DNA sequence: ACAAATTTTTAGATTTGCCTAAAATTTAAT
DNA sequence: ATTAAATTTTAGGCAAATCTAAAAATTTGT
């Protein structure tokens, strides 16, 4: 089958481009700009154009000069396969090898390119088929299906409401370490008590403990909506 | 330190060459022929010469035109690091992901190039610091040290002697599957009962069960010598 | 609408890793 | 000791993936 042929012939670089286009294009449906890809991948726009042409040859992306790029159905499936591997490896590193959530991404960037269906399916089983990675992001199943969890940014909820912290928007090591230092983790119960007029900072109650966080922090924390508390 | 700088800048291809030179040169001490490398790596001698020059620039091998190649101390340490990773991953695949011993090599060939000290040390701990891989080959420790087990080929032992099967010389999938089919595994107690004059085939007793194996088979099975039984 | 700014693509070069074909060197044979 | 055979290296080329600089297309601002 075409998908299988392609899947095992892709280079690491091609896979990274496909993944980036997926992330920038909200599941690959939207058109993505050359410059946006270049910026995120820390490469030059001319390099991106080169690669886009190659990916287009392989029917992984739709491309018309100057009109941006989007994933084909094949490209989308490929992206989901890589993301599945990335997130499963992140779970493995945290659950089995005692990595902290700010250490896993770099290694997962390497591990996501290992090619073996049996490996990834066995890993999935070893981890008891996790649905979310250490940052709260959903893990696609074998067929690329996954349910985006119903969540909203803490910065968007009304006073006196809250919910369980289920994810981070920014998953950079610096932000994650900041959260660790301040005792904020996934699973914590968070309630917004007050919002400062002046700078938008929030007084919250997190697992019973009161603290103040900036608007920037709040706009990078996802909570599972649970209406009035 | 020079070693560390180098270690993380090596390409996959460079690592594969270093590993091959190690295997062909008995711990890298002996000189290895260009053609031997080319044959084992299924590449052309001219490509090998190219790469040898690059490795020589990086002080990983000693090289004089037409005189063969050998590993430097740095090259040797690098090779041991890669072999450590390869064998630890093989153990992981068998112990944690229920791979059989004939399925692990191909995937380990990919996994051995993942760069993360923390990853490999954690994996070592998860597996309880194994000393041998699924094929009975020794796993170098963090510092590259490992003890070659005292063993001999089954084809070399005298009649009425034997020992525990501790390794295979040929670890190709076909040989390993053959052993599976015939119920021969590491840990089995093997005793040589009789050797046929005609074709050198052996009548053995393996864990109490009698069977006959060809000379070729016997010359690919290692047993731990335990003298007279 | 048209010039200016921005984005995107092309052209040409570089590095890695591989190839084929031909030349150089070493080894083996008579 | 020559010649023949095998091994190894050089020379020249190619594809992937990147870069810089310049040209082309699109978007924006007045
Ligand atoms: Mn990640
Ligand atoms: Mn993640
Ligand atoms: Mn192996
Ligand atoms: Mn092995």
Q: How high is the pLDDT of residue B28?
A: 58
pLDDT-based confidence at A226, cuts 50/70/90?
low
Percentage of chain A exceeding pLDDT 90: 90
State the distance from the centre of ligand 2 to the C-alpha of A131, rounded, in angstroms: 12
Q: How high is the pLDDT of residue A5?
A: 52
Residue A161, min C-alpha distance to chain B (Å): 41
Contacts (Cβ under 8 Å, ≥6 apart) of B150? B224, B225
pLDDT-based confidence at B2, cuts 50/70/90?
very low
Say if residue A160's pLDDT is above 90.
yes
Q: How high is the pLDDT of residue B148?
A: 86
CA of B215 to C1' of C30 (A): 38
CA distance A118 to B207: 32
**Interchain CB contact of B115 with A (< 8 Å):** yes
| A7 or B36, which is more confident | B36
**Interchain CB contact of A106 with B (< 8 Å):** yes
Closest residue in chain A to residue B125, using alpha carbons only = A97
Say if residue A229's pLDDT is above 60.
no
- Measuring CA to CA, how many Å separate A18 from each of A41, A57, A80? 11, 13, 10
Residue A61, beta-bridge partner list? A71
Contacts (Cβ under 8 Å, ≥6 apart) of A48? A17, A34, A37, A38, A41
CA distance B210 to B216: 18
Say if residue A227's pLDDT is above 70.
no
- B115 closest CA partner among B1, B10, B2, B3: B10
Protein fold of B152-228: SH3 type barrels. (2.30.30)
**Interchain CB contact of A94 with B (< 8 Å):** no
pLDDT-based confidence at B20, cuts 50/70/90?
very high
Domain chopping of chain B, boundaries: 1-147, 152-228
CA distance A212 to A197: 14
Q: How many residues does chain B have?
A: 229
Q: Kindly tell me the burial class for residue B170, based on how many C-beta atoms sit within 10 Å of its own C-beta (0-12, 13-18, 19 or more).
A: middle
pLDDT-based confidence at A55, cuts 50/70/90?
very high
| A226 or A181, which is more confident | A181
Hey, which CATH number is domain B1-147, 3.30.530.20, 1.10.10.10, 3.40.50.740, 3.40.50.80? 1.10.10.10
Say if residue B154's pLDDT is above 70.
yes
Q: How high is the pLDDT of residue B226?
A: 65
Say if residue B147's pLDDT is above 90.
no
Interface contact A119-B98, CB threshold 8 A = no
**For A29-50, what is each residue's pLDDT tens digit?**
789 999 999 999 999 999 999 9
Say if residue A3's pLDDT is above 50.
no
Interface contact A110-B115, CB threshold 8 A = yes
pLDDT-based confidence at A9, cuts 50/70/90?
confident
CA of B25 to C1' of D9 (A): 21
Q: Which residues of A touch B111 (CB under 8 A)?
A: 114
Q: How high is the pLDDT of residue A4?
A: 41
Beta strands in chain B (DSSP E): 61-63, 69-71, 152-153, 161-168, 189-195, 202-206, 209-213, 221-228
pTM of the model: 0.93
Least reliable range by pLDDT among A26-35, A99-108, A109-118, B160-169: A26-35
CA of B45 to C1' of C22 (A): 14
Say whether A114 sits in a helix, a strand or coil.
coil
Interval A148-161 mean pLDDT: 93
CA distance A68 to A53: 12
**Interchain CB contact of A9 with B (< 8 Å):** no
């Amino acid at each position: 089958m075409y998908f299988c042929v392609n899947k095992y012939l892709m280079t690491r670089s091609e896979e990274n481009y496909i993944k980036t286009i997926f992330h920038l294009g909200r599941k690959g449906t939207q058109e993505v700009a050359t410059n946006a890809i270049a910026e995120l991948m820390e490469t030059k726009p001319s390099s991106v154009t080169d690669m886009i042409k190659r990916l287009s040859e392989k029917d992984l992306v739709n491309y018309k000069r100057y009109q941006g790029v989007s994933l084909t159905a094949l490209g989308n499936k490929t992206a989901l396969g890589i993301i599945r591997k990335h997130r499963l490896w992140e779970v493995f590193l945290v659950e089995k090898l005692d990595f902290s959530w700010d250490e896993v991404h770099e290694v997962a960037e390497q591990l996501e390119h290992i090619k073996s269906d049996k490996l990834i399916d066995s890993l999935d089983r070893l981890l008891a088929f996790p649905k979310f990675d250490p940052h709260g992001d959903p893990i696609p199943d074998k067929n690329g299906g996954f349910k985006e969890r119903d969540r909203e940014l803490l910065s968007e909820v009304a006073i006196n409401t809250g919910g369980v912290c289920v994810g981070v928007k920014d998953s950079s090591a610096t932000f994650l370490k900041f959260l660790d230092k301040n005792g904020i983790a996934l699973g914590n119960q968070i309630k917004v008590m007050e919002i400062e007029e002046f700078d938008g900072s929030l007084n919250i109650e997190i697992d019973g403990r009161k603290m103040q966080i900036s608007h920037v922090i709040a706009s990078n924390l996802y909570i599972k909506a649970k209406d009035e508390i």
